[in-house]
Amino acid sequence: MRPKKKLISLAVKEAQKSTFYFKLGAIGLYKGQVVSKAYNVSSSNPELKYFPSRFSFHAEARACIRAKKVDTIIVVRVNPTGLACSFPCSSCQKIMKKYGVKTVFYIDWLGNIQRLVL
């Protein structure tokens, strides 16, 4: 199963809200319904206490803490030329797992959607 294009564009829209050079956007799903949206924010964000990095709060982890229940995360990175690799870091993988995420869809180095099972 691949996420619908509509969901990818929703994640892209979210990523475009980021003020970072690396813009990431994530959508949280539960039983196929969108339950949260998030983009990467700076470490001054008050939600950061949930996240171990001092520099930025990653979109996919933020999408987890913003959802009551979440089983799937779609995470994308956009750069000026299009989609870029958005493989989740180990901190995010740990957080997503803790929040009950089973499946992550991300963009690989070739711009294709890939699935990661946690």
- Residues near Zn ion, by CB under 5 A: 58, 89, 92
Question: 104: Cβ–Cβ under 8 A, 6 or more apart, which residues?
Answer: 60, 72, 73, 74, 75, 88, 93, 96, 115, 116, 118
Least distance to Zn ion, CB of residue 91, Å: 5
* 93 vs 113 by CB, closer to Zn ion: 93
* 89 vs 98 by CB, closer to Zn ion: 89
* 4 vs 94 by CB, closer to Zn ion: 94
What values do phi and psi take at 10, rounded to 5? -65, -40
* 4 vs 102 by CB, closer to Zn ion: 102
Least distance to Zn ion, CB of residue 17, Å: 17
115: nearest Cα among 95, 98, 94, 101: 101
User: Which residue's CB atom is positioned nearest to Zn ion?
Assistant: 92
> Distance between CA atoms of 61 and 75, rounded to whole angstroms?
10
Instruction: Retrieve residue 77's tokens.
Output: 């990175």
- The answer to whether 114 and 107 are in contact (CB under 8 A) is yes
Least distance to Zn ion, CB of residue 85, Å: 12
Least distance to Zn ion, CB of residue 38, Å: 12
